[in-house]
Chain A
Amino acid sequence: MHTSEGQILFILTGATLIVGGLIGYFLVSLARQFERYRHQQDGYNRNKLDALEQERRVISADLHDDIGPLLSAALLKLSTVNPEGAREKEFLQQADAHIREIYTRIRELSVQMVPRAIEKKGPFYALDEFAESCLVGQDLRVDITLLTCPGLSEYRSLHLFRMLQEILHNTIKHAGAREFSLDARIEGPELFIETRDDGRGFDLAAAQEKGGLGLQNILVRARMIGVKLEITTSPGTGTCYSIQLPINEEHTTHDSSHPGHPGR
């Protein structure tokens, strides 16, 4: 081979290798930065959801512990009033009924914000209570497997409940379904949940592209507690969510760096 040809070959090979290396570096670096950005977003969403739960607890406790006793005191005071006229008596009865109504609603609201059933019996009982409270007047039959998971921490139970609550809420609000079923079973260290409805379904890719808050929160919560989530749906075929969750936190396969429970 002629010397200059050899040199041209050397230059071309060298230049190609360098440019190829730079392109490779570019792609790897880009993928790394996207991954880093996703982690940042997850951290941000996690903090947001933790703060939201914390705020719910505070508001729920305030409603239950502060306003409840005040209303009870007001009822007590009203009961000591002895009206003279029939009109005054009627007003007093109406006021008494209103305060009792407010008291009941505040208790319901307080329970709905942070269902006590999560702590006592677990997420499935809490979901059953939620379904009972919001299905009044709805043409939807709900069938939930009532299962207790002793090893599931309260923090993870709460997030699992919120996920299931959002799924049920979406079914009621958007699916137009007549039946909703939730099957849960424990196999070894894993909890398997499958929800299914016979509603109108949706275009999953379009929904993810649109970035609706409900679906996004389900996905974020799933990553937070190490859930493997699979959504099967398409327009006209109903929706099925398959959830796989390690019961003990040490079995969590991803996102195990989570600090744990939110402060109270």
Chain B
Amino acid sequence: MLMFFGISFIIGLSGSFLYSGPGIHGIKSELLQSLAAALLILRQARIWKVFEGRLYLNFILLCLIIALFIIEVVFPELLAVRSSVFMVFSSFTITLLAIEMMNRNLPQSRVPFWRNPVFLFCAGLIFQYTLLGLIELFAGTLRDSIPAVLTKTYYFYAGISILVQLLYIRSVLCIPAKDKYYSY
């Protein structure tokens, strides 16, 4: 979880201040951010046993995400659609994984959901990546027909992002302090 925040922060910083336009070596920072997020969430889902008994699914998703990223970056002409297929796929994958992670945790959680770091973290992911996936999916249509709506949609996304950041902050604050260490 903390690794996710750390890497998001670094890539966000690089996108905002260091590289503008094409991003790192011509790769858009949003793509890099989505790749990092997808890989970290996949890893976290494996740790939280979402793929228990069906580890092949983890492998298939990993391969698909990496393949789509490479195709999008190296052979963009292969995916001749107006939306970023990689972004749409990775966003909805993250959303579904976040739903699974949240639901797996909820029945056995002993703390109320507003103090449950897993719930808050997953809720943040669901909000952010559902909206990102929808915007990315319909961005082409909006850009062609009513660009003003697209701009407003991005503002709305920025507003939701603030709420999501608050959820992430709250989730980090709710991680229990490790004051006892066990060794086996």
Contact = CB atoms under 8 A, between A and B. Distances in A.
Interface of A: 3-4, 7-8, 10-11, 14-15, 18-19, 22, 25-26, 29-30, 32-34, 36-37
Interface of B: 92, 95-96, 99-100, 103-104, 106-108, 126, 130, 133-134, 137-138, 141-142, 144-146, 149
A3 B130 contact: no
B146 A4 contact: yes
A87 B104 CA distance: 74
B146 A8 contact: yes
A19 B99 contact: no
B138 A11 contact: yes
A15 B134 contact: yes
Contacts of A7: 141-142, 144-146
A25 B103 CA distance: 11
A67 B42 CA distance: 59
Contact of B96 (A4, A10, A25, A32): A25
Given A14-B138, A34-B107, A29 B145 contact: no
Contact of B99 (A4, A11, A25, A34): A25
Contact of B141 (A10, A30, A37): A10
Contacts of A8: 145-146, 149
Contacts of B141: 7, 10-11
Contact of A30 (B106, B134, B146): B106
Contacts of A33: 103-104, 106-107
Contacts of A4: 145-146
A32 B107 CA distance: 10
B103 A30 contact: yes
A70 B1 CA distance: 63
Contacts of B99: 22, 25-26, 29
B130 A29 contact: no
A150 to B, nearest CB: 41
B174 to A, nearest CB: 21
A7 B146 CA distance: 9
A201 to B, nearest CB: 31
A25 B126 CA distance: 12
Given A15-B134, A22-B95, 7 more contacts: A3-B145, A11-B138, A18-B133, A18-B137, A22-B99, A25-B99, A29-B100
Nearest to A34: B107
A36 B108 CA distance: 11
Given A3-B145, A22-B95, A37 B107 contact: yes
Nearest to B149: A8
Q: What are the 4 A-B residue pairs with the smallest beta carbon separation, nearest first?
A: A37-B107, A33-B103, A7-B145, A4-B145
B149 to A, nearest CB: 8
Contacts of B134: 15, 18-19
Contact of B103 (A11, A19, A26): A26
A34 B149 CA distance: 41
B108 A37 contact: yes
Contacts of A37: 107-108
16 contacts: A4-B146, A7-B141, A7-B146, A14-B137, A14-B138, A15-B138, A18-B134, A19-B134, A22-B126, A26-B103, A29-B103, A32-B103, A33-B103, A33-B104, A33-B107, A36-B107
Nearest to B153: A11
Contacts of B142: 7, 11
Contacts of A32: 103
B15 to A, nearest CB: 26
Contacts of B126: 22
A69 B106 CA distance: 55
Q: Most chain-A Cβ atoms within 10 A of its Cβ — which of B96, B103, B104, B141?
A: B103
A53 B69 CA distance: 58
B138 A19 contact: no
B96 to A, nearest CB: 7
Nearest to B142: A11
Nearest to B138: A11
B168 to A, nearest CB: 20
